[in-house]
Structure 1
Amino acid sequence: MKIEEDLHPLFVEAGPGTTATILAKRHGARIVSKAFNAIDSKIKTDEEFASIKKLLGRLWQNGIEIDMSALFKNSNPKIIHQVPTYAYNKKRYWLEAPLTQPAAFVTPIPINITTLPENNQASFNEMSNYPDRKDFFIEKVKEILEKTSGIDVSATNPLNNFMEIGLDSLILTQIASGLKKEFQLPITFRMLNEDLDTIDKLAAYLDKNSAMQVPAQQPPQVVPQNTQQRHSQQFANPLAENDALSLIAQQINLLSQQVMLLQNGNTLPQNLPVQNPPPAQFNGSPKAAPVNGDDGLTIEEKTEIKKPFGAIARIETKTDGITDEQKIFLAKLIEGYNKKTPKSKAYTQRHRPYMADPRVVSGFKPATKEMIYSIVVSKSKGCHLWDIDGNEYVDALNGFGSNFLGYQADVLKKAMIEQIEKGYEIGPQHELAGEVCKLISEMTGMERIGLCNTGSEAVLGAMRIARTVNNRNLIVAFTGSYHGIVDEVLVRGTKKLKTFPAASGILPDNVQNMLILDYGTDETLEIIKNRASDIAGILVEPVQSRRPEFQPVDFLKQLRQLTTEKDIALIFDEVITGFRSHPAGAQALFGVKADLATYGKIVGGGLSLGVIGGDRKYLDALDGGFWQYGDRSVPEVGVTYFAGTFVRHPLALATAKATLDYLKEQGPELQRRINNRTTQLAKRMNEVCDQLGVPIYIAHFSSLWKIKFKEEYPYHELLFSLMRLKNIHIWDGFPCFLTLAHTDEDIERICEAFKTSLQELLDAGFVTQQKGLTNKEPNLIVEANQPPVAGAKLGRDKDGNPAWFVKDAENEGRFLKLSEN
């Protein structure tokens, strides 16, 4: 951002399309008003010249000198110098045109003002405080956009489309609902993507169709008068010196009075005096206005808040510009993909009318529409899947982390079959429930254990328990974490400490007891310290599945100390890290013991199971605490509600016990072995990125690994489509996992498919090559109490990664990032 701050450049996309313009505008409010495209790929050929002229006009508005004579050299235009270039230079410029007959108002006609009714205000009842009714709707739409998305759109050009502003399909869905509720009009998500895709178009639609009454301004008082002189004095209100707003008010007042006179059958008096301000001084072209970026949001934060949340279905209905060669490449890819998986495609189309599945539509783009469908699987074994077309795949996703021992592992298959033979009754207490809880307690060190169905339920329960015990409302969570599908954790936050829902259907009020802070910074610790009296619990994903390379161990230790001092529940979400990184999870690896922890995925052995573990102080809130028979003991702790029909399902308990028994028998060496293999996989794939010179790297922690892009590409998802075509089951945006079932041959297949797929994208121009680029996985295990230089502060860089910063001696209040070298 140093270039932007020093040079104040404008950004122009040369050539058709808006891809570069959109990417530029995602760097924050300062860039939004300075990035322009030359030719929209959607316009017709005969409209291209008009589009160029529109661009030149915008550049001129921003202070760029335009050679008009060169632009219109073939039409010999005349430049009019006399017309004012400043909107409030209220000099009169009359067209010299002969009149065929005298106009009715040329000869002054005396007006009998006393014929006006004293209380004639009918024409003012709908007068707006805005110069135009449409302007009112523009401001109203901006208000709804900002309230829904958290993005500051006050300075946004109403002609920019919603994608340029940074509104994704998830946010537009929420906005459509808000607009429909506010204006009682059938505004849909599709309309906002097509016909009403700008603030200006939407405001025009509302102006035409909305029955909403625009706020009325106070009507001027009409007082009967008997002379034209007294009538004229009414219009000659004094103006504050050079006060443009007062001038506008006077002009509106004048027009209103004139309309009233005409409506009552009177002719306008001539030469009504209006006090004009001195002409504004204006020399040359307009200069670029300074951009006010002091809205409390960092550039990284603005970028983050615009991104789709979690596993939300990503839907785009417009096609970014692609070359003819790329179109040929896509056509061949789609043909091959459809030929390989025709039954999966037919299955998807056949069941679409009645099966609502977000995963089936995720990644939708018009250019790749024909291969937007899931691979439909019919069987599995180990780390392999077979689809209904008979294709065999190496699975990289592995049940989003729930498959650890391998599909149909003998120990799990045996336990499930035995339990099926015994029965899987719902309702009665099951004989395995106590044994499973004891095993989890022994392995994790948690004093008490509660069971539920999913990781999301476990997170909900842990938050409820923390609030119950500590009698406070606020829960702190961190940017970049994922905690499931409960309303309160589907949330975005800002530096202003405001909180916004991240999905449609979540009421804003439902997330106001959440505080979202940056993960791993000193500022966060200070905020927590200052708000401690309000905080019931702090929810932490110790290693974020979206950013596994970031492991702020020292921050977690300081957080543990702070929460202990302030009597705040420290909650570790170990749904992914639990039992995977170590038998006792990330808590054992990092040496940080939480008050509450949630588990899932691995512990269920492939079936759905959620776990809440924690100290007695907190888990007693589920059942009242310990008591025993034969004495006067009673449950002494106040309880909260937490229950479910399928909690402690016999089949899930059977596979959980089998999994836990196996992990306990193998000991920590099992996790160390698979963790090392994952490290080697990530190393090999990063070497491929180095060889090809692409800005991509593989981040990992434990047996989780994730393909990450250092730059955004419009069709980056093609990498995953190509890998599926090469028999690797992998999805865009999701972390991948190694299992005990992956062999060296399976790992080799993953690496080879990754390499050849990247090479194909390079050849087709969908990924760019950068010579000399090193894509090693960043070392982000940060010790916050060990700065590389004195006075350095820990923060986040433009990519959201932790980095050290020092004060900029030349610019007060600014910081410079320290280089890793």
Structure 2
Amino acid sequence: MATNHLTVEAAYRDKFPQSASLYERGKTVFPSGITHDARYLLPFPVFVKEAHGSRKTSVEGHSIIDYWVGHGALLLGHGRREVVEAVQQQMARGTHFSANHELEIEWGERVKRLVPSAERVRFTSSGTEATLMAVRVARLVTNRTKVVKLIGHFHGWHDQLVLAAYAPYTPDDWSMPGVSPGVVSDLVAVPPNDLKAIEQAFQEHRPACCILEPTGGHWGLVPVQGEYLRGLRELCTRYDVLLIFDEVISGFRVHPGGAQGHYGITPDMTTMAKILAGGLPGGALAGRRDLLEAIEFGNQYGKKMKHPGTFNGNPLSAAAGCAALDLLADGVACQQANRLTGKLRQQLNALFVRKSVPWIAYGEFSMCHILPGYTGHNPVSADFIPCDGDYRKLDREQPAALKFAFRSALLTCGVDWFGWSGMTSSAHTEDDLEETVAAFDRMLSMLQADGLI
């Protein structure tokens, strides 16, 4: 953060001195002092000691309304009693048996009941592993190598799909530091919400599969909606391309059956994580029985996809996952989070109008995105998609000084926002929304005082 942004930085340093000290200590252990890129913040990140419901508590003792909700994993909020009890009971029985156990079957059965595409399920330890498996299965069963993805859609950090996941987007060069040109050549990235581009890619490259976030890149930063998904499903069927929904974020969040349950569109395979494991590490690939047969011994393909994984289906994650999926199966948690976030988007837009700030809040379901520098019409609507959905305008890098000052000022005012976006949980309340809008009001005044807006 630039040193002339005195209002924000001084207030931030004054409120979080112990976090500053811990960050200096962390820098002697971790690259840049952090364990996840998204947690990088200047002048330093806030350190948290505990979390309950919709809030977490910093090491200094400050209560902060949380809109990261475990990177999207905590639809039920922090420390939901039933999940905590399930994990505690399992901890006493054992955390790792190196053997099959009944709880992994019960966990998988819940996935099958809720997710329309889940004829068979295979657990992994993360969403990144799940999407890596999905691509490998698709290549094995189709004997093709190309993969189509949408620009701006994130499917984990592995080599196969990390390309074209981050702005700024340069279509003539999908290079990524550390990823070899040979891997790059197997990926075809096309613009989102453009069915003609998808069809052209299918005709030209005859790919094994097409993968996307069914609510849009970076969980709806560039929204994808039902009409596009229905068109994509038809194209995949017509061209014999496997359709993969990456529901790592949207799974169990937008609807108990994920985006596919909400829209009534069934992909060939689905990747899941986050809410799946009730806030503990865990992912899964689910899909058609004949496709996941690629992992079986003695399968019809005459070759088996190898899949080890020390913590696949581990008892602790299975216990948390079973408890969480039972709690959200009736859809009430999804509906509550969706309703509150729609109200939050409306209230933030009303605030931006009142303060004459050229920003817009938008999104769908329980997800809220903030777009600074927006010069179009602000309808103060919960469901408005700005910039006609143009990914080049919606998904773009903001100035670093503004980005860091925005988050630091909000934290100072008692709100932790996930970059320029946020998600709610069923634990968030009307009072949380009121405090959040008031915090945004104070944050904007601080940015104005520092000449950032």
- Aligned in 2, Cα 1:549/1:510: closer, same or farther, shift over 3 Å? closer
1:381 aligns with 2:46: no
- Aligned in 2, Cα 1:747/1:426: closer, same or farther, shift over 3 Å? same
Deviation string, structure 1 residues 489-527 (Cα, Å, up to 9, x no partner): 12139999755233x222222221000001111431331
1:636 aligns with 2:300: yes
Q: Distance in 2 between matches of 1:342 and 1:363?
A: 21
Deviation of 1:706 after TM superposition, in Å, equals 1.8
Deviation string, structure 1 residues 616-653 (Cα, Å, up to 9, x no partner): 121111114xxxxxxxxx64343211221111111001
- Tell me which residue corresponds to 1:4: none
1:403 aligns with 2:66: no
Deviation of 1:555 after TM superposition, in Å, equals 2.1
| Aligned match for 1:700, one of 363, 366, 372 | 363
Q: Secondary structure at the match of 1:535?
A: coil
> Partner amino acid for 1:659?
A
| Aligned match for 2:406, one of 699, 706, 719 | 719
Q: Distance in 2 between matches of 1:612 and 1:602?
A: 14
Report matched runs for 1:172-211 at 5 Å: none
| Aligned match for 1:418, one of 89, 105, 120 | 89
Contact preservation (8 Å) 1:382, 1:408: yes
- Tell me which residue corresponds to 1:752: 438
- Tell me which residue corresponds to 2:26: 351
- Tell me which residue corresponds to 1:469: 141
Percent identical among aligned pairs is 25
- Aligned in 2, Cα 1:362/1:613: closer, same or farther, shift over 3 Å? closer
- Tell me which residue corresponds to 1:203: none
Segments of structure 1 that go 5 or more residues without pairing to the other structure are 1-315, 320-325, 625-633, 768-821
Q: Distance in 2 between matches of 1:605 and 1:623?
A: 27
- Tell me which residue corresponds to 2:416: 729
- Tell me which residue corresponds to 1:485: 157
- Tell me which residue corresponds to 2:323: 658
Q: Distance in 2 between matches of 1:361 and 1:431?
A: 33
Deviation string, structure 1 residues 272-300 (Cα, Å, up to 9, x no partner): xxxxxxxxxxxxxxxxxxxxxxxxxxxxx
- Tell me which residue corresponds to 2:249: 576
Contact preservation (8 Å) 1:348, 1:360: no
Report matched runs for 1:425-464 at 5 Å: 425-445=96-116, 446-464=118-136
Output the aligned Cα RMSD.
Answer: 2.5
Report matched runs for 1:326-341 at 5 Å: 327=4, 330-341=5-16
- Tell me which residue corresponds to 1:739: 425
Moved more, 636-645 or 548-557: 548-557
- Tell me which residue corresponds to 1:286: none
Report matched runs for 1:283-362 at 5 Å: 327=4, 330-357=5-32, 359=34
Deviation of 1:545 after TM superposition, in Å, equals 4.7
Deviation of 1:424 after TM superposition, in Å, equals 1.2
Deviation string, structure 1 residues 433-479 (Cα, Å, up to 9, x no partner): 11111110111122111100000000000000000001100000011
Deviation string, structure 1 residues 163-213 (Cα, Å, up to 9, x no partner): xxxxxxxxxxxxxxxxxxxxxxxxxxxxxxxxxxxxxxxxxxxxxxxxxxx
- Aligned in 2, Cα 1:510/1:582: closer, same or farther, shift over 3 Å? same
> Partner amino acid for 2:200?
I
Deviation string, structure 1 residues 725-752 (Cα, Å, up to 9, x no partner): 011122434x311111111111111111
Deviation string, structure 1 residues 340-370 (Cα, Å, up to 9, x no partner): 11111111112312223564897999xxx9x
Q: Distance in 2 between matches of 1:435 and 1:730?
A: 35
Q: Distance in 2 between matches of 1:451 and 1:508?
A: 30
Contact preservation (8 Å) 2:27, 2:34: no
Q: Distance in 1 between matches of 2:317 and 2:415?
A: 29
Q: Distance in 1 between matches of 2:304 and 2:36?
A: 42
Contact preservation (8 Å) 2:26, 2:34: no
Contact preservation (8 Å) 1:499, 1:514: no
- Aligned in 2, Cα 1:694/1:729: closer, same or farther, shift over 3 Å? same
> Partner amino acid for 1:437?
G
Deviation of 1:701 after TM superposition, in Å, equals 1.8
Q: Secondary structure at the match of 1:740?
A: coil
Contact preservation (8 Å) 1:538, 1:570: yes
- Aligned in 2, Cα 1:428/1:363: closer, same or farther, shift over 3 Å? closer
- Tell me which residue corresponds to 1:277: none
- Aligned in 2, Cα 1:505/1:495: closer, same or farther, shift over 3 Å? closer
Contact preservation (8 Å) 1:465, 1:619: yes
- Aligned in 2, Cα 1:410/1:364: closer, same or farther, shift over 3 Å? closer
> Partner amino acid for 2:359?
I
> Partner amino acid for 1:742?
H
Contact preservation (8 Å) 2:114, 2:257: yes
TM-score by length of 2: 0.88
Contact preservation (8 Å) 1:499, 1:515: no
Q: Secondary structure at the match of 2:401?
A: coil
Segments of structure 2 that go 5 or more residues without pairing to the other structure are 375-397
1:541 aligns with 2:213: yes
1:591 aligns with 2:256: no
- Tell me which residue corresponds to 1:647: 312
Q: Distance in 1 between matches of 2:11 and 2:45?
A: 15
Contact preservation (8 Å) 1:484, 1:490: yes
Q: Distance in 2 between matches of 1:605 and 1:448?
A: 20
